[in-house]
Amino acid sequence: MLKNYIKIAWRNLYKNKVFSLIHVLGLTMGITVCLMIFLYIANEFSVDSFHKQEKNIYRVMRGYDIAKPRVPYLSGPYGPALLNDYPQDIKMAVRVRPQNNLVSFGEKAFNEQKVYATDAGFFKLFSFPLLKGDPATALENPNSVVLNETTAKKYFGSIESAMGKVIRVDKALQLKVTGIAKDAPSNSHLDFDIVLPIANYVKDDGFNTWINNGLFVYILLNPNSSKTALESRFPQFMDKYMGKDMQRFGSKFDLKLTSLKDVYFEPTSAFDSVKHGDKTVVFIFISIAVLIMLIACINFMNLATIRAVERSKEVGMRKVMGALRNHLIIQFIGESFLLAIISCAFSVCILLMLMPWYNQLLGYKLSIAWNESPIYLFLIGVILVVGFLAGSYPAFFLSAFSPIQALKGKLKLGKGGTMLRQSLVVLQFSISVLLIIGTIVIMNQMRYIKSKSLGYDKEQTVIVNIDNGDIYQHRRQFKDELQNSGLVASVSLMSGQPGGFFDTHTFTAEGQHDVFRSRTEFADFEYVKTLGLKIIAGRDFSAQFATDTTNAVLLNRTAAKELGYTPQQALGKWIKNNGRDDKPRTIVGVVEDFNFLSLKENMDALVISPSEDRRVVAIKLKPGNIPGALAFIKETYAKAAPVYPFEYKFLDQQFNTTYRNDIRQQTMLSIFSGLAIFIACLGLFGLASFTAAKRTKEIGVRKVLGSSVTNILLLLSKDMLKPVLLATIIAMPIGYYCMNKWLQNFAYRTTLHWWIFGLAAILTFLIALFTISFKSLKAALTNPVKSLRSE
């Protein structure tokens, strides 16, 4: 019996090839988008779930300001101290210090950016599998190193030949390869190429200083230990080890624990070098998947319903021949299931073809786990939803036809059917208009940010990181040689470039009872000149004043304001960095505010000091010979750091780095919006085909009576465009509300101009009109004699 139902369903689908094709195409597009979003969401919510001890692993977070989120950076002594003071609660403590190093062997050298210096228990705490070596002992010897699979192949051709080889780190540290780790999966917040023992750095200057923060601490709690109870004892821990420092800096530091499964979605990515996600973005894409699937299901119901009249005689004949209603329902739902299965099969094929592009769009590689159940459960769920829910209304509607009325050909869908179809079209296009509005707003915001004056000159400025010992030791010679060339306008050594990282320090300031917290920049005398900042009060640092190096400081306008001064009033006042300076510095100048942070953050106070802390070289090039200038910089760098590869970027490229995720979201939303419109238009095309076919005789009569092609085209189009107009009216306030909420993520944002909604409406109307015109124009151009004869 099932075989007969399948045969009948297949024959009916083949008989109505055009409608079946529209059905399958719309469903395939909808399922493909949902499948892509499903894989993305599954990857996001499964981050770090592969670690066997996930439930008991926590990352230690440090609080330093109640108004700001906690940060994960701690200093070297924290891990051993926590393990020593709480042995009954903490089973293991592992420090992880992200760093970059020069790795060399033979004549080859690589500047590796993803190096972790960790405690020996790293591979015992985390479940990163080793393809070669023993996780328990791979890092026990300080002279050992573990490479990931990709790095091992890059260095030595294969993982087998890599084992036992010796590499040199930063020209001094010789390490033997004792393990090969499988590449960290995309659903890991930790991502490394090389792991080496942190024991090699514990004797470095500042490593064991409690106030110097630069690494993460992960702890493994004993099964019976309570996170809350342990956190309640942390204040005593901080008083014991950090009491004097807290008193000295006038700050109150605290510790909290974040479970491993929550690290990925921590709101601290600005302070964190590990991979982070955004739950808001995840929920946005879940909503998009639901909306697009809804559009596809609406198409299905609409197209199946409008075919009801065409199939009414078939239903009537089968009823006369003895078919029961439940048999008809099973047949029609069976057709829906068959279409859904075909669409799912096509979707999987399309997805496999699109995966390389999709991975590139996401910025990381998604792994499709075909051997796991979630993806199959998702596909089965889609088939059930589409096959039963979307197919049930047409099935019950068709099976309820009166056989007498059906065989006489007098069956009509009635006002209820028309109202339902139009309501579904309204819902479809409301979703489409909403997505178009979202796309336009995001594109407009990104364009606004990119074109906004940031208060500094970012053009023709090259950034070179001071990320190795050689360039650090020869930084002044490097700067002087560039400065003396005719290709470079100015050079500045600084602690952070605009758009980069700026630490927060505490200050004691003249006339202030409370501790003053401000972002800090440690830069040389050419900082203002190189970035093109504007002095609004006082003067810049100057070599003419011998005491500027130790006694002078600059503020931005916001820092002066937060201290309670106008720019002019701030001059001559003193301010002392509690962690850096032995004595106060005099404010000699105030610069106009410039956006040294992301535009998602409000303008913050900034103190610019000539104290030593050089991490970046900013090189302002003279116009006219950029390639020649870059070649000269490379040559000069090779003299200062001959073994290290020369790496640089332009300051104006920082936009793409800072807003990488926002740009990806914009691209993905644009693509998904386009697909949503396409699916909605497929349904509109089907409705237009149905309308034109049913009004063939009317069109013929009107043409005989003198109606023009234009009049007939307007006649057929206006009824189809009414629900589109209503959809636009409904979607606009919803779009305004949603995008206004999204824009709250940016401290500097564009306004929701009226033209955005006007453009969305015009685009929707043009697309809908273009879709309808195919069938309407064909019907209007048909010879009326042929139309009337066929009737």
**Average pLDDT of the segment spanning 696-722:** 68
787 band by pLDDT with thresholds 50, 70 and 90: low
Buried b (16+ CB within 10 A) or exposed e, 75-87: bbbbbebbbebbe
Is residue 606 within a helix (H) or strand (E), and if so which, with residue range?
strand 606-609
Is the pLDDT assigned to residue 1 strictly greater than 60? no
> What pTM, to 2 d.p., does this model score?
0.79
Task: List, in sequence order, every residue forming a beta bridge with 452; answer none if it has no partner.
Answer: none
| Rounded mean pLDDT, 267-272 | 61
Between CA 565 and CA 632 the distance in angstroms is 45
Tokens for 453?
A: 């004056």
pLDDT of 90 reads 95
Percent of the residues in the chain that have a pLDDT greater than 90, as a whole number: 36
How confident is residue 124, by pLDDT bands cut at 50, 70 and 90? very high
Q: What is the pLDDT of residues 640-659, one digit of tens each?
A: 988 888 889 998 887 667 77
Q: What is the pLDDT of residue 2?
A: 44
Least Cα distance to 394 among 339, 321, 343, 328 occurs for 328
Mean pLDDT in residue range 114-136: 95
As a whole number, mean pLDDT of residues 194-209 equals 92
Find the mean pLDDT for residues 569-586.
Answer: 91
pLDDT band for position 249 (cuts 50, 70, 90): confident
Highest-confidence range of 15-29, 419-433, 459-473, 683-697, by mean pLDDT?
459-473
Chain centre to alpha carbon of residue 207 = 34
Lowest mean pLDDT among 204-208, 687-691, 721-725: 687-691
CA angle 275, 148, 272 (to 5 degrees): 20
Q: What is the dihedral of CA 553, 554, 556, 557, to 10 degrees?
A: 100
| pLDDT tops 80 at residue 780 | no
Q: Which of these ranges, 58-62, 375-379, 716-720, has the smallest mean pLDDT?
A: 716-720
CB of 147 closer than 8 Å to CB of 196 = no
Which is nearest to 559 in space by CA: 601, 502, 517, 613? 517
Of 700, 117, 731, 677, nearest to 430 by C-alpha is 731
Check residue 7 and give its pLDDT. Answer: 53
